[in-house]
Amino acid sequence: MKIALHPCYILHQRHYRETSLILEVFSRNNGKLTLVARGAKKRNAGTSPLMQINQKLNIAWTIRGEMGTLTAIEAAGTNYNLGGSRLIAAFYMNELLMRLLHKYEPHQELFDTYENALRLLQQSFNEEAILRVFEIELLKSLGYGLVFDHDVISGKPIEQDKLYFYQIDFGPTTTPPQDREYVKLSGKTLIALAQSAIQEPYQLQEAKQLTRRILKNYLGTKPLASRDLFSAYLKNQNG
């Protein structure tokens, strides 16, 4: 089957035999997929400079079975030139996509959220806020839509001055659960999450605790390489 040029990002690449690369790709119309770029490492391969992480591309390929073969590639937009912690944040998003998405399942809204996250990272917006919005959209794409606007037991709208217990696999309530895992969140944080507008440090911390706990259900026990990389980065920054 032949797939014509359309928007993609390369999430990861690795060497394959002497002259080729294997690309992990996130496509707007076809979801996550794996492609072989034959001859990409040859000196005269004119497409090699395009095969960069965080570069929007148009890619075409043919596919038989689990792995496809890249047939055409061209630049399609901004090359998000990130560094330091912002590059690690992009690496983290890529790692989540590779670990959690199933192949060939389109996620167009998630693709757009991912692209917007790269744009905001380049513009120096708050990294933690960007990542929380991305994680929430990713969970929604996986079929886990989080509840931020009402108490799941009483049905009442969230009140900003109340404390809530967000029960994993259920939602927020003012009643402390007896037999469920939960994360404590302020009403202000829940309202900010519903509006994709978390900014205050305590809101960012509460939101991080929530998304990390829920993502753990999907990621299992295997650690994320990006978290280890970020820890090493902070250690180096702090001397």
- Taking the C-alpha atoms of residue 158 and residue 162, their distance in angstroms, rounded to an integer, is 8
Q: DSSP letter for 19, please.
A: T
- pTM (predicted TM-score): 0.92
| Confidence at 180, pLDDT banded by 50, 70, 90 | confident
Instruction: Kindly tell me the burial class for residue 189, based on how many C-beta atoms sit within 10 Å of its own C-beta (0-12, 13-18, 19 or more).
Output: buried
Q: Give every CB contact of residue 6 below 8 A, 6+ residues apart in sequence.
A: 27, 28, 29, 30, 58, 59, 60
Q: DSSP letter for 178, please.
A: S
Mean pLDDT for 1-27 is 92
pLDDT at 167: 94
pLDDT at 13: 92
pLDDT at 230: 86
pLDDT, tens only, 91-145: 999 999 999 999 999 999 999 999 999 999 999 889 999 999 999 999 999 999 8
pLDDT at 18: 85
Mean pLDDT for 195-221 is 93
- Taking the C-alpha atoms of residue 151 and residue 153, their distance in angstroms, rounded to an integer, is 6
Residue 29 pLDDT greater than 60, yes or no? yes
pLDDT at 12: 95
Nearest C-alpha neighbor of 9 from the set 40, 44, 41, 35: 35
**Segments making up each domain of the chain, as ranges:** 1-78
Mean pLDDT for 40-69 is 82
Tell me how crowded residue 17 is: count the other CB atoms within 10 A of its CB: 10
Q: What is the CATH number of domain 1-78?
A: 2.40.50.140
Specify the range with the lowest mean pLDDT, choosing from 40-54, 75-89, 136-150, 181-195.
40-54
Residue 41 pLDDT greater than 80, yes or no? no
Residue 235 pLDDT greater than 80, yes or no? no
